[in-house]
Each structure stands twice: as structure tokens, then as C-alpha cells.
Amino acid sequence: GAVVSQHPSWVICKSGTSVKIECRSLDFQATTMFWYRQFPKQSLMLMATSNEGSKATYEQGVEKDKFLINHASLTLSTLTVTSAHPEDSSFYICSARKAGGAGELFFGEGSRLTVL
């Protein structure tokens, strides 16, 4: 159990377009999901915390109007990169905390975004 799936796993888009990435907990309910960004050979940087049914909490320096997060259900959170630019190219990873669990985070496979 505890599988988190992201879709798409990779996406290439033109500059100025918007891209949506989905994060689903397949076999458990997740009241809280987290979105991370990872640059090559670097650690994961937390972008925002997403709570089901409420607004996301963004980390300092992360533009909430650029990275729209929606956590519409206990099994789905989405990250939309709006008006993407080449500097938004990165590996985006979500994680989900099991409701009622011991607090472990389970990560998705990641989504590679390349903005041309």
C-alpha cells in the first residue's frame, strides 16, 4: 500500500503556456500533500503544502499566482504552472501524508517539466 502516482511523468511545453501536474494517492487518503521542486544534483525544495479543502500554504519565495495548487479531494492534488518560462523547467515531485498514519510521507515518481 501507500502508492502515490504523478501524471504526467514528463512534459514539454512552449513558453507562455500552462501545464497541470496531477498527484494521486492510489490506495490511501491524504489530508495533506506537499509539492517539491528539484534541480539537477540538488535536494528537494518544498514549494507548498496542500490541505484538502483549503488554500495551499506557500513557502517563502514561491509565487502562488504562478504555481496554482488545488487539493480538491482526499486523493488528488494538482499543481498548475501558469505562463511557464524556461526557468520553470525542473523536476516536480509531490508527496502525500497518510491520514491517521504515523506521519510518513510517500512520494510520487516525479514530473519532469521542460519549457522551450
Partner 1 sequence: GQQLNQSPQSMFIQEGEDVSMNCTSSSIFNTWLWYKQDPGEGPVLLIALYKAGELTSNGRLTAQFGITRKDSFLNISASIPSDVGIYFCAGRSGSRLTFGEGTQLTVNP
Which residues in this chain contact partner 1 in the complex, by CB under 8 A? 4, 6, 32, 34, 41-44, 46, 49, 91, 93, 95, 97, 102-110, 112
Looking at beta carbons only, is 74 or 105 nearer to partner 1?
105
> Please, which residues bridge with residue 106 across strands?
96
Grid coordinates representing 24?
494521486
Looking at beta carbons only, is 74 or 91 nearer to partner 1?
91
Say how many C-beta atoms besides its own lie within 10 A of residue 12's C-beta. 12
In angstroms, give the least distance from the CB of 20 to partner 1. 18
In angstroms, give the least distance from the CB of 108 to partner 1. 5
Looking at beta carbons only, is 46 or 68 nearer to partner 1?
46
DSSP codes, 27-87: SS-EEEEEEEEE-TTS-EEEEEEEETTS--EEPTT--TTTEEEEEEETTEEEEEE-S--GG
In angstroms, give the least distance from the CB of 43 to partner 1. 5
Looking at beta carbons only, is 51 or 82 nearer to partner 1?
51
In angstroms, give the least distance from the CB of 13 to partner 1. 18
Are the beta carbons of 76 and 51 closer than 8 angstroms? no
Strands 10-13 and 111-115: parallel
